[in-house]
C-alpha cells in the first residue's frame, strides 16, 4: 500500500512539475458582451476550428486552456467565456482580476448589443488595470442583414482607445488574427493600452448617486402622503 501511494504521489508531483515547465508565460483572457452575440462560438472556433449551428447559451462561465507558440516562448492561454445575461453580471465582474486581455463582442446585426458596448466599457473601467488590452469585436459579419457599419465600430473602439476587429465565428474569418494579435502584443507590449477615464467615471458615479438620492426622496414623499 505504501508503495502504491508513493508511486501515485510521484506521478502527481511529476505532472505538476511538467505543467509548470510546459509554458513560459500564462495569460488570462475573457470574452464579454451581450447574450447571443457569439462569444462561445468565437472561442469554440479558435480552440476546435469548428462551428456550432445550434449552440446552447453559456450558464455563468465556461473555461478553456490553449497552448500557443510565440517564437521560442510557449504561452498558456486561460480563456474565460462569460454569459451575457444580466443575472450573471456579478459572476462576470469577479473574473476581471489579473486579466491580460478583454474581448468585448457585439453582434453587427443587432443594434442593442452595439449600444450596450458603453455599459460593458463602464464595467471594464471599474475592474481592469491600464495595462489590460481591450479588443472590440464586431461578430457575425458573414450575415447580410448587417446594421452596424465598420465605420461605427471603429469610431466606438477609437472613443475608448480599444483595438478593433471584425469576425465571423461561422466561417472562421479573422478569428485566428484576433488571438494572434493578443499573443504578439502581450509578449511585446507594443499596443497602446486601455486608459481608464477616471474623471468621466467619477462624474457618472456621482450622477448615479444623485439619481438614487432623488428617487429615495420621492419614495419618502409618497410614504408620508399615504401614511
Per-residue confidence band for 5, with pLDDT thresholds at 50, 70 and 90: very low
pLDDT above 70 (res 58): no
Buried b (16+ CB within 10 A) or exposed e, 1-30: eeeeeeeeeeeeeeeeeeeeeebeeebbbb
Please give the share of the chain, as a percent, with pLDDT higher than 70: 64
Q: What is the number of alpha carbons within 13 Å of residue 142 lying toward its C-beta?
A: 11
CA 180 vs CA 29, 69, 163: distances in Å: 13, 10, 13
**pTM, full prediction:** 0.71
Q: Which CB contacts under 8 angstroms, 24+ apart, belong to 16-21? A: none
Average pLDDT, whole number, for the chain? 77
The pLDDT score that the predictor gives to residue 140 is 97
Cα-flanking dihedrals φ and ψ of residue 87, to 5°? Answer: -65, -15
The pLDDT score that the predictor gives to residue 206 is 55
Q: Choose between 82 and 220: higher pLDDT.
A: 82
β-pairing verdict for 61-70 and 25-33: unpaired
Per-residue confidence band for 24, with pLDDT thresholds at 50, 70 and 90: confident
Q: Specify whether the backbone of 193 is left (phi greater than 0), alpha (psi in -120 to 50) or beta.
A: beta
The pLDDT score that the predictor gives to residue 89 is 54
The pLDDT score that the predictor gives to residue 129 is 84
The pLDDT score that the predictor gives to residue 170 is 95
Instruction: Decide if 95 contacts 61 (C-beta within 8 A).
Output: yes
Q: What is the mean pLDDT of residues 150-170?
A: 96
The pLDDT score that the predictor gives to residue 63 is 81
pLDDT above 70 (res 55): no
Instruction: Decide if 65 contacts 76 (C-beta within 8 A).
Output: yes
Amino acid at each position: 500500500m505504501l508503495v502504491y501511494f508513493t508511486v501515485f504521489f510521484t506521478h502527481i508531483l511529476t505532472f505538476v512539475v511538467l505543467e509548470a515547465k510546459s509554458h513560459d508565460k500564462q495569460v488570462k483572457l475573457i470574452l464579454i458582451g451581450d447574450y447571443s452575440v457569439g462569444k462561445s462560438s468565437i472561442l469554440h472556433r479558435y480552440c476546435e476550428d469548428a462551428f456550432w449551428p445550434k449552440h446552447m447559451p453559456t450558464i455563468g462561465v465556461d473555461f478553456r486552456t490553449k497552448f500557443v507558440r510565440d517564437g521560442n516562448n510557449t504561452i498558456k492561454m486561460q480563456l474565460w467565456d462569460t454569459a451575457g445575461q444580466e443575472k450573471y453580471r456579478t459572476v462576470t465582474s469577479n473574473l476581471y482580476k489579473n486579466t491580460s486581455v478583454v474581448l468585448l463582442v457585439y453582434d453587427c446585426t443587432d443594434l442593442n448589443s452595439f449600444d450596450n458596448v458603453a455599459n460593458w466599457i463602464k464595467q471594464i473601467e471599474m475592474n481592469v488595470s491600464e495595462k489590460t488590452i481591450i479588443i472590440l469585436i464586431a461578430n457575425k459579419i458573414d450575415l447580410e442583414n448587417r446594421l452596424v457599419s465598420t465605420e461605427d465600430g471603429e469610431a466606438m473602439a477609437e472613443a475608448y482607445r480599444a483595438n478593433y476587429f471584425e469576425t465571423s465565428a461561422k466561417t472562421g474569418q479573422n478569428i485566428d488574427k484576433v488571438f494572434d494579435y493578443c499573443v504578439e502584443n502581450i509578449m511585446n507590449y507594443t499596443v497602446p493600452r486601455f486608459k481608464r477615464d477616471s474623471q468621466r467615471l467619477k462624474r457618472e458615479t456621482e450622477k448615479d448617486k444623485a439619481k438614487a438620492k432623488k428617487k429615495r426622496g420621492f419614495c419618502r414623499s409618497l410614504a408620508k402622503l399615504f401614511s
